Amino acid sequence: MIHNLLKVLKDAFSSKKLRLPNQPLDETSLPYPLASDVSVKDYNFFIESKEISGYKFEYYNGTVYIIDMCSNEHEAVIEALGDSFRAHSPTYAIYDAPIQIRGQPFHESPAGDGTRIAPDLAVFPHETYVPRPPVPHPGPPPSDTRGNPYARIICEIAMSQTSSNLKRKCKLWMRQSYVRSVLGIKLYDIMNTRNNTQGKRDRAMKATLWQQGVPKRKWKFGTVNKDGSPTGPTGCNGPNDPNYVITIPVSDVFYDPAVPAIEYTPLPPPATLMNAVFTIDFYKIQRMVLLSQAQ
């Protein structure tokens, strides 16, 4: 996989900017600085025009980093979260569902530096209920880079990516007022013990939820703590435990303030959805991770 990436990089950036690894990358190598002295324009072109799978990139002060690599566990968490966000659209054809879900759609970074970033999972309204902004990207109102309504709920999942890097990216998304909720999930390294009821290798997991106007909240929902110690009697050991079930208002998806300056008036969303909530059970996510990881 790394050889395909290096070919793409050589095509995108001059060789003098590249720092080629001497051996295949793994989780212990990350974050890995791939290229330096890269302009924002070249970086945006690189991530939007090249077919690259299996890697998560970040641009910081002119350097392009690999911060994470996709895995079975990563995709399992995406699948579980997607099911939670689709729960309120069972009777709609997928192209007409009021709640739309995408993996890694590009958005202008809330940092205002011109870079483009993509979340692991974005939840946003169908254009029937929140019309495309009349002013092309970047608006107002803001949109993704293709002119679709800006994501309102963001999910970021980290494996090799450090907790501090994950936190920084989630807080960056929250700088865009149209993003109402951001859920960050960190999966720590697999352990050799098997003290859980599923008989799988133990793993620590952590979730943090940021919401506009609300203090952030955290949950440790793995089979063990980060140091390998037991989670104790309040551990995440079964479904529907209120200590490990979170809700996010569906109304977050349809957040759409009027913009009088351009005569933009939002349409009302489906009334049946405005008092509903998304329910995310961390035990189900834990089970999906354990099922997908190395045995």
Of 68, 86, 101, the position where a domain reaches its end is 68
* 83 and 164 assigned to the same domain: yes
Q: Which domain holds residue 134?
A: 71-292
Please give the average per-residue pLDDT across 181-207, as a whole number. 93
- Cβ(186)–Cβ(206) under 8 Å? yes
Residue 247: other Cβ atoms inside 10 A: 11
Residues 80-116 have pLDDT tens digits of 999 999 988 877 788 889 999 998 889 999 988 889 9
* 107 and 37 assigned to the same domain: no
Of 23, 41, 68, the position where a domain reaches its end is 68
* 102 and 205 assigned to the same domain: yes
Q: Grade residue 57 by pLDDT with cuts at 50, 70 and 90.
A: confident
Residues 245-292 have pLDDT tens digits of 999 999 999 999 999 988 888 888 888 888 899 999 999 999 999 999
Q: What CATH number should be reported for the domain holding residue 259?
A: 3.90.1570
* pLDDT given at position 200: 93
* 57 and 123 assigned to the same domain: no
* 23 and 144 assigned to the same domain: no
* 93 and 213 assigned to the same domain: yes
Considering its fold, how many domains does the chain have in total?
Answer: 2
Measure the CA–CA gap between 32 and 162, rounded to whole angstroms: 12
* 120 and 38 assigned to the same domain: no
Amino acid occupying residue 269 = P
Measure the CA–CA gap between 101 and 104, rounded to whole angstroms: 10
Residues 114-155 have pLDDT tens digits of 899 999 999 999 988 888 888 878 889 999 998 889 999 999
* pLDDT given at position 203: 95
* 80 and 178 assigned to the same domain: yes
Of 68, 87, 109, the position where a domain reaches its end is 68
* 220 and 94 assigned to the same domain: yes
* 62 and 89 assigned to the same domain: no
* 39 and 90 assigned to the same domain: no
* 64 and 84 assigned to the same domain: no
Average pLDDT over the chain reads: 88
